[in-house]
Structure 1
Amino acid sequence: MHQRKAEMARQADAFIALPGGYGTLEELLEVITWAQLGIHRKPVGLLNVDGYYNSLLTFIDKAVDEGFISPMARRIIVSAPNAKELVRQLEEYEPEFDEITSKLVWDEVDRISYVPGSEVATAT
């Protein structure tokens, strides 16, 4: 399972979560964690149709308020109620990293790179 997701991540320019169940949440949280750890710099978007992800976003915001998630890490996720707005936000996304994650070093095989404005993600 991890190898399949890692390969999809290598070939993707962004990650978009549609409304879904446990599998969707597991994959979503994994790519968010990868971004937080500096494994990739790709945008992570939630297609928040009819407020489907509002409760999750509230949970994440509460974790920020309580100090479990940094405000910078909160900005890994973008969300929008429709595809057009979400794509716009993904295209404008600028990755940020804190001092800790920016100093981490990953094996070349595990690092997934993204250059804002590029059309293809490349392994570095």
Structure 2
Amino acid sequence: MKLINLLLNILWLVFCGFWMAIGYALAGLICCVLIITIPFGIASFRIAGYVIWPFGRTTVEKPDAGAASCVGNVIWLVFAGWWLALAHIATSIPLFLSIIGIPFGWANLKLIPVSLMPLGREVVRTDEAFGARY
């Protein structure tokens, strides 16, 4: 299974992971330049790491995420989230045009909720996903 995840991650990196991670890193840099939005920048860098190497990992909700994460997600959605979601959609369209790219197109679409609402989530390995919820 780890060999399959490695192969999928390498293909993902070549086809779309690198470019999407650059988008998240750019959003993170912009957020870190504006001092008050550093928490958004940290979340963006965390999701960039996930987007560049997603297979074998998933996101789960943090049990201690509260109202601040909800308010932060609304702010993120308005200023950066919808741009990143559009980038996921634009990246998935050419992937769907080839047989090899179809699974990566679906994986790209599955990343849209994380791009829209990244706060209050953490990235864990898939074998830890159930345990991380509690």
Instruction: With the length of structure 1 as denominator, give the TM-score of the two structures.
Output: 0.29
- Structure with higher helix content: 2
Q: Which of the two has greater strand per residue?
A: 1
Q: Larger radius of gyration, structure 1 or 2?
A: 2
TM-score w.r.t. the length of structure 2 is: 0.27
